Chain A
Amino acid sequence: MKKRPRTTESHAFLVAVSAVILGLIGGAVLMASIGSNPFLGFYYLFRGGLMNIERIGNTLATATTLMLVGLSVAFAFKTGLFNIGASGQMLIGGLCATLVAHKVFLPRPLFLVVLIGSALIGGALWGVIPGFLKARFNVHEVVATIMMNWIAYWSIYYFVPAYLKGPSLETESASIAVSQSLRSPWLTKLFNGSYINYGFFIAIVAVVLIRFVLDKTTLGFGLKAVGSNRFCAEYAGIKVNRNVIISMMIAGSLAGLAGLSFYTGYSRNMQIGVLPAQGFDGIAVALLGASNPLGVFFSSLFFGILQSGKGFMNAMTSVPPEIADSIIAVIIYFTATSVLFQRLWDRLFKYRRSRRSGEKEE
Chain B
Amino acid sequence: MWSTLSSIFPYAIAYTIPLLITALGGLYCERSGVTNLGLEGLMLVGYFACAITIRLLEPSLAQYPNGILALGLVAGVIAGGLFSLLHAFASINLKADQVISGTAINMLAGAITVYLARLISGSGNVRIRMGIIRKNIPLLAKIPIIGPLFFSQTYWTTWLVLIIWALSWLLLYKTSFGLRLRACGEHPSAVESAGVNVHRMRYFGVIVSGALAGLGGSVILITYSGEFHGTVAGLGFLSIAALIFGQWKPLGILGATFFFGSATTIANVSQVIPSLSVVPPVFFKVFPYVATLIALVLFSKKSAAPKASGQPF
Contacts and interface: CB of A to CB of B under 8 A. Distances in A.
Interface of A: 30, 34, 82, 84, 133, 137-140, 142-144, 146-151, 153-155, 157-159, 273, 275, 277, 280-281, 283-284, 287, 320, 322-323, 325-326, 328-330, 332-333, 335-340
A336 B101 contact: yes
B101 A337 contact: yes
A339 B89 CA distance: 12
Contacts of B112: 30, 322, 326, 329
A143 B240 contact: yes
A202 B289 CA distance: 33
Contacts of A147: 241, 289-290, 292-293
Given A150-B289, A157-B285, 8 more contacts: A137-B296, A158-B281, A277-B110, A287-B100, A320-B115, A329-B107, A332-B104, A336-B96
Contact of B115 (A137, A159, A323): A323
A322 B118 contact: yes
B280 A144 contact: no
If over half of B's interface residues share one DSSP class (helix, strand or loop), that class is named, otherwise mixed; here it is helix
25 contacts: A133-B293, A139-B293, A140-B296, A142-B37, A147-B241, A147-B290, A154-B285, A158-B280, A158-B282, A159-B282, A273-B233, A320-B118, A322-B114, A322-B115, A323-B115, A325-B110, A328-B107, A328-B111, A329-B108, A330-B108, A333-B101, A333-B104, A336-B90, A336-B97, A336-B104
A325 B107 contact: yes
A326 B237 contact: no
Interface of B: 37, 86, 89-90, 94-97, 99-101, 103-108, 110-112, 114-115, 118-119, 124, 233-234, 237-238, 240-241, 244, 280-282, 285-286, 289-290, 292-293, 296-297, 300
B297 A339 contact: no
A336 B101 CA distance: 6
A150 B119 contact: no
Contact of B234 (A275, A280, A328, A340): A275
A340 B233 CA distance: 33
B108 A326 contact: yes
Nearest to A283: B103
B118 A144 contact: no
B297 A133 contact: yes
Top 3 nearest A-B pairs by Cβ distance? Answer: A325-B111, A329-B107, A333-B104
Contacts of A143: 240, 244, 292, 296
A69 to B, nearest CB: 13
Contacts of B97: 336
A158 B279 CA distance: 13
B237 A332 contact: no
A332 B107 contact: yes
Contacts of B86: 333
Contacts of B289: 147-148, 150-151, 154
A84 B296 contact: no
A328 B106 CA distance: 12
Contacts of B103: 84, 280, 283, 332
B183 to A, nearest CB: 22
Contacts of B119: 34, 320
Contacts of A330: 108
B229 to A, nearest CB: 11
A201 B27 CA distance: 46
Contact of A150 (B94, B96, B101, B237): B237
A339 B94 contact: yes
B300 A139 contact: yes
B27 to A, nearest CB: 15
A281 B106 CA distance: 11
Contacts of A273: 233
A41 to B, nearest CB: 12
Contacts of A139: 293, 296-297, 300
A82 B102 CA distance: 13
